[in-house]
Amino acid sequence: MSTTRRTTIGAATMLIAAPALLRTGGARAQGAVPPPIGPAFHRFQVGGRTVTVVTDGSNVRPDVTRGLVVNASPEQVSAALAAASIAGPAMRNPYNVTFVETSRGLVAIDVGTGGVGGDTGALHANMRAAGLDPARVALIVHTHFHGDHIGGLTTNDGTAVFPQAAISVPEREWVFWTDAGEEARANDARRPAFANVRRRFAPYAQRVMRFAPDAEVAPGIRAVGTPGHSPGHTSFLVHDGTAQALIIGDAVTTPAFFMVNPDWYPGFDMDPPTAVETRKRLLDRAATERMPVVGYHFDMPATGRVERAGAGYRLVPAAG
């Protein structure tokens, strides 16, 4: 384990030192595995609050033109890749956790995958590279309960990874994923996610608090209900005075697809019409209020501003 961590720290350090060398995706040959996209973490201020986005790593989708976007043809998706200067059809899917320093201590928004192939599972090493001690996490708040957002709660043998942390979850999300009737009605592809929720939250059972869609979950962090991707999916507004940033979770995933075409939806959206409506509302707000957004599945630095572009929007990434 320690060898793995040392190796990962080395890779993370390299990512920080040479980000320019890693942004070579546009030049690689068709079909090649896209390189990791650095940096390992990105830090910015929201008024007096310090926000640090830390990547857990990424894995590769071999062909995003088929199956990822449910309501677009492979030709349309290929055209979207070309418009974004992304050489397809393989594409990395990153996983990024946001940390906010508050008067209540360090707050984590989601916890990473726990390791799902590729170079994922690097959250703790990259936290240390960012100067964040995992033992200092006082509160974990969750956007939703899909496996890539809650996997990092426990090791594979079920041990709590953040033994000191309290946990706050969206009430609607908790009710859905703990409902035996919903589990019984779920299709074969979705049913295992219910057991995963039980398993990941088990060691924290006495410390799980549930919050309403617009609750202040920690000082300076307000829940913003953004349902559709999952029943209780929630984004978080980090605020201090008039300064604000929106941690959007999976309300918008790959910007080149779902910002540019807010009507498109991925197979992971559990209620597509609601997800599309939520996505449009959120993007309109982010563009109007000119506030930074952070996406769990954006390429690092995973942070930027949203601008209107044609019939949709585009992400203007923060300087990494």
Which residues lie near Zn ion (CB under 5 A)?
148, 250
Cα–Cα distance measured from residue 295 to residue 218, given in angstroms and rounded to the nearest whole number: 20
Please state the closest distance from residue 135 (CB atom) to Zn ion, in A: 25
Helix H or strand E encompassing 182: helix 180-185
Q: Closest approach of Cβ 146 to Zn ion, in Å?
A: 5
The residue among 253 and 261 lying less far from Zn ion, judged by its C-beta, is 253
Nearer to Zn ion, 87 or 122 (CB): 122
Q: How far is the CB of 147 from Zn ion (least distance, A)?
A: 8
Closest distance of CB 164 from Zn ion, Å:
25
Kindly state the smallest distance separating residue 266's Cβ from Zn ion, in Å: 10
Bridge partners (DSSP) of residue 208 are: 167
Nearer to Zn ion, 102 or 120 (CB): 120
Give the span between the Cα atoms of 138 and 203, in whole angstroms.
Answer: 16
Label the pairing between strands 137-141 and 105-109. parallel
Token pair 């991925």: residue: 266
Of 148 and 183, nearer to Zn ion (C-beta) is 148
- The type of residue at 256 is A
Nearer to Zn ion, 56 or 250 (CB): 250
> Is the CB of 81 or the CB of 251 nearer to Zn ion?
251
Q: How many CB atoms lie within 10 A of CB 62?
A: 10
Least separation in angstroms between CB 143 and Zn ion:
8
Phi and psi based region of residue 54 (left: phi greater than 0; alpha: psi -120 to 50; beta: remaining): beta
Q: Which is nearer to Zn ion, 34 or 249 (CB)?
A: 249
Measured distance CA(196)–CA(4) in Å, rounded = 25
Task: Please state the closest distance from residue 213 (CB atom) to Zn ion, in A.
Answer: 19
Question: Are the C-beta atoms of residues 22 and 28 closer than 8 Å to each other?
Answer: no
In sequence order, the 6+-apart residues with CB closer than 8 A to the CB of 80 are 72, 256, 257, 260, 261
Question: Phi/psi of residue 259, each to 5°?
Answer: -90, -45
Q: What phi, psi does 49 have (nearest 5°)?
A: -95, 140
